[in-house]
Amino acid sequence: MRSAPDYGRFAVFSLIGTVTLMPLLVLPAMVGVLVDQAGMSDSIAGWSASLNFFGAAAIGLAMAFRMHHLSLRQVAVAGLVIAVVADLASAALVGSGTAFLAARLVAGVGLGAAYVCAASAFPRYEDYDRGYGLFVTLQFIVSGVGLYLVPVFSDELGARGLFVVFALLDLLALSFARGLPGKAGASGDAARKRTEMGILLTLAAIAGIAGFTLFEAANNAQFTYIERFGVAQGLDEHRIGIALLFASLIGIPGAFAIVLLGHRFGTLRPLIAGISLAIAGLLVLMAAPSYAGYVAGGCCLGFSWAFCLPYIQSLLADLDRRGSVIAAGTSLSTLGSAVGPGLAATAVAGGHYARVFMLAILIFVLALIGFVISARYRPVPGVAAAP
């Protein structure tokens, strides 16, 4: 008889992973604080986010080739300690140009290592697809609250205060890190022969990872400047905060859908529906420059992002339960998160926010092509690993 999902363990993994994603979850609000409170330009604020994500992507990709041999618990502890120091340094170095950007890069390395450990822990246990649903649900709850509170209290908080809060959250995650598993086990000769490199070079893995990377690039391109787009439309910070709150909270039922539905409709059909909804949301933002259009477009994007993520993560985890594909996917998707704001920063020159949304639509289409190829050439799911 199959045991019930270990939701308590999944909750610990979700908390750690959500904390490591805080610079992403409140990205547009953070950019707004850096622009309004620290006097940075739109482009510099966007590149500070890109460097943070680039650091996370680099460490995660390096880890992907050693996932069968790493202790997730030990790596996460080390990463979170680095993140605490780097976030405190970021608070002290706001306005210091290159030194501040370097601190954000280092913070990304620490947070990225801990995030990969949390994301890779789910497939060690049964019903991990539902665990990913819980993980993404928590992300969107925290994002919604953060996107409301940060703009509203930006004057009192300031840029330095924001990074101190990040450091305190890192400490919270550190206190739970002992709940992560150690090294992965291998069940039988077949599992031992399936090296990280051999798994990662399959067409299904390459296409799925590429799709995940492009999916995150598209989402972060639009997410970086959606708050600034609202300002350009003449909306005040309170109305923008409420709209972004709704856009994130609507993601909660989207993320929870996989808990209820599982793989009843496979993975490709939900991904086609979810990405189509994101494209529709971007078209609404550009075609209906009003508060109602701003709320509707944002809600489409929020629901789509949350709905697609658990399906993408479980698709990659199926290919290797010991974590190499999900590690590579999450790290390279973080690279997509790094590239997205940078591309958006280039496209936004002169305040042309519609160009950012058009760019995001193109990248979404490319991401969907990657998922179609992955689904077409997907082999039998990988051998399960013991925790």
pLDDT for the residue numbered 280: 96
pLDDT for the residue numbered 1: 42
The full 3-state SS of 210-245, as one line of letters, equals: HHHHHHHHHHHHHHHHHHHHHHHCCCCHHHHHHHHH
Instruction: Catalogue all structural domains in the chain, each as residue range(s) with its CATH number.
Output: 7-376 (1.20.1250.20)
pLDDT-derived band of residue 367, with 50, 70 and 90 as boundaries? very high
pLDDT for the residue numbered 28: 81
**pLDDT(196) > 80:** no
DSSP single-letter state for residue 123:
G
Higher pLDDT among residues 22 and 251, named by residue: 22
pLDDT for the residue numbered 180: 93
- The answer to whether the beta carbons of residues 363 and 221 sit under 8 Å apart is yes
**pLDDT(380) > 90:** no
Q: pTM to 2 decimals?
A: 0.80
**pLDDT(141) > 70:** yes
Residues 277-283: contacts with CB under 8 Å, at least 24 apart: 277/303, 277/304, 277/307, 278/218, 278/219, 278/304, 278/305, 278/308, 278/364, 279/361, 279/364, 279/365, 282/222, 282/357, 282/358, 282/360, 282/361, 283/361
pLDDT for the residue numbered 227: 84
**pLDDT(186) > 60:** no
**Residue among 273, 300, 275, 271 at smallest CA distance from 287:** 300
| Phi-psi map region of 125: left, alpha, beta (phi>0 left; psi -120 to 50 alpha) | beta
CA dist., res. 279 & res. 307, Å (int): 14
pLDDT for the residue numbered 353: 83
**pLDDT(192) > 50:** no
Residues in the chain: 387
pLDDT for the residue numbered 319: 78
pLDDT for the residue numbered 194: 63
Higher pLDDT among residues 362 and 321, named by residue: 362
**pLDDT(67) > 90:** no
125-140 pLDDT, tens per residue?
A: 888 888 898 998 898 8
Q: Buried b vs exposed e over 109-120: b needs ≥16 C-beta within 10 Å?
A: bbbbbbbbbbbb
What's CA 385's distance to the chain center, in Å?
Answer: 25
pLDDT for the residue numbered 381: 46
The chain-wide mean pLDDT, for the chain, equals 85
pLDDT for the residue numbered 187: 46
- The answer to whether the beta carbons of residues 212 and 332 sit under 8 Å apart is yes
Mean pLDDT of 231-257: 84
284-311 pLDDT, tens per residue?
A: 998 877 888 999 999 999 999 989 999 9
Count other Cβ atoms within 10 Å, centred on residue 376.
11
pLDDT for the residue numbered 4: 60
pLDDT for the residue numbered 171: 97
pLDDT for the residue numbered 12: 95
- The answer to whether the beta carbons of residues 115 and 72 sit under 8 Å apart is no
Q: Which ranges constitute the DSSP H helices of 233-290?
A: 237-249, 251-261, 268-287
**Residue among 203, 197, 212 at smallest CA distance from 68:** 197
pLDDT-derived band of residue 3, with 50, 70 and 90 as boundaries? low
Range from 180-184, 236-240, 356-360, 380-384 carrying the lowest mean pLDDT = 380-384
pLDDT-derived band of residue 225, with 50, 70 and 90 as boundaries? confident
What's the sign of the alpha-carbon dihedral 27, 29, 31, 34? negative
pLDDT for the residue numbered 188: 46
